Copies of this chain bind each other. A is one copy, B any other.
Amino acid sequence: MPAFMDALAAAVRAKRSPLMVGLDPRLGNLPDGLRPADGASLAEIAEAFRAHSCGVIDAVADLTPIVKPQAAFFEQLGPAGMTALAAVIDHAHAAGLLVCVDGKRNDIGSTAEAYADGWLGAVSPWRGDALTVSPYLGDDSLEPFTKVAAARNAGVFILVKTSNPGGGTFQDKLVDGEPLYRRVGAHVEATSAASAGECGYGVAGAVVGATYPEQLAELRAAMPHTWFLVPGFGAQGGAATDVAGGFAADGLGAVVNSSRGVIFAYEKRPHADGWQAAVRVAAEEAVQQLREIMPGG
């Protein structure tokens, strides 16, 4: 079994697609036929979330190397939601996709290890291939995640520069003349330089938002061994040209996430063949846009 970043690089090449599809099910955005009745139980809503996410996977599986289920939307429904999340991960694997669980987890020492064990396989039913992780707790909170990930051929994506307008509140604060996110980025890069696999990228990836194109290009240059997860493309306002700086010269080094713009595409542009066809059209268009700006794409 290859290291996670090697598997990701191979899948991006095979599909000529750096598109990551974010699975963020929301009750108010489910299509007709999947929307539960008013007063539905948490179990019924969880089943609708499962059906929607699995339906999205079926519609886009040949267009994307990796999907990113957002833990919050499943967690919100209690244990029934977590059961649905496990089913979605299984379904993605059966469709040949990699899975990055977007949990933004972190904690100290053996607690961080418990999160890594839980999400990155072996013990729990959540057999994610990668997990997003938050860095505020420092180096000894990140190490258990990267160690477990390395041992299991899994990956982590550590928040470096996030896509939200308030991302700069603390991330942009200057530390010895450079913004904090550069410090976090340097830490991630050191970990990945020391664990780089065949494709040249190491176990620790970085979350770097599409909404800050200059910082994205700056970090790409500073972090040559770090694969980027780039959120903010599409519904959050980032254009394809904004993410161009995230790629290395060979076209690798970044996956670009789109959630709402793909998975709820039927709301703005319904398709005669049903909601999944609308999702597929949106994913095809996103891939086309990304191929145009991806070096060698």
Check B170 against A118 for contact (C-beta < 8 Å).
Answer: no
**Which chain A residues (23-71) contact chain B, with CB distance < 8 Å?**
24, 26, 42, 70
Chain B residue at minimal CB-CB distance from A84: B79
A173 is an interface residue with CB less than 8 A from chain B: yes
A152 / chain B contacts, CB cutoff of 8 Å: none
Instruction: Tell whether A167 pairs with B138 under 8 Å between CB atoms, given A76-B123, A77-B118.
Output: yes
Check A166 against B183 for contact (C-beta < 8 Å).
Answer: no
Q: Which of A103-111, A219-227, A240-248, A264-272 contacts B (4 or more CB under 8 A)?
A: A103-111
Instruction: Tell whether A125 pairs with B169 under 8 Å between CB atoms, given A138-B162, A163-B108, A164-B108.
Output: no
Q: Which of A174-182, A192-200, A286-294 contacts B (4 or more CB under 8 A)?
A: A174-182
Q: Which of A3-11, A12-20, A129-137 contacts B (4 or more CB under 8 A)?
A: A129-137
A24 / chain B contacts, CB cutoff of 8 Å: 111
Q: A138-B162, A140-B165 are in contact. List 17 more A-B contacts (CB 8 A).
A: A24-B111, A72-B111, A75-B115, A75-B124, A76-B118, A77-B124, A78-B86, A78-B126, A102-B107, A136-B159, A136-B162, A137-B159, A138-B164, A141-B164, A170-B184, A173-B175, A174-B176
A96 is an interface residue with CB less than 8 A from chain B: no
From B76, B137, B176, A114 is in contact (CB under 8 Å) with B76
Q: Once bound together, how far apart are the Cα atoms of A6 and B185, in whole Å? A: 41
Check A86 against B76 for contact (C-beta < 8 Å).
Answer: no
Check B136 against A136 for contact (C-beta < 8 Å).
Answer: yes
Q: Once bound together, how far apart are the Cα atoms of A126 and B79, in whole Å? A: 9
**Which chain A residues (191-234) contact chain B, with CB distance < 8 Å?**
none
A114 / chain B contacts, CB cutoff of 8 Å: 72-73, 75-76
Q: Once bound together, how far apart are the Cα atoms of A136 and B165, in whole Å? A: 13
Chain B: minimal CB distance from A13 (Å)? 30
A117 is an interface residue with CB less than 8 A from chain B: yes
A119 / chain B contacts, CB cutoff of 8 Å: 75
A82 is an interface residue with CB less than 8 A from chain B: yes
Q: 3 tightest CB-CB pairs across the interface, nearest first?
A: A140-B166, A138-B169, A138-B166
A83 is an interface residue with CB less than 8 A from chain B: yes
A187 is an interface residue with CB less than 8 A from chain B: yes
A168 is an interface residue with CB less than 8 A from chain B: yes
Q: Once bound together, how far apart are the Cα atoms of A118 and B192, in whole Å? A: 34
From B75, B117, B138, B163, A76 is in contact (CB under 8 Å) with B117
A171 / chain B contacts, CB cutoff of 8 Å: 136, 138
Chain B residue at minimal CB-CB distance from A231: B108
A162 / chain B contacts, CB cutoff of 8 Å: 108, 136-138, 141
Check A183 against B187 for contact (C-beta < 8 Å).
Answer: no
Q: Once bound together, how far apart are the Cα atoms of A184 and B169, in whole Å? A: 9
A285 is an interface residue with CB less than 8 A from chain B: no
Chain B: minimal CB distance from A88 (Å)? 13
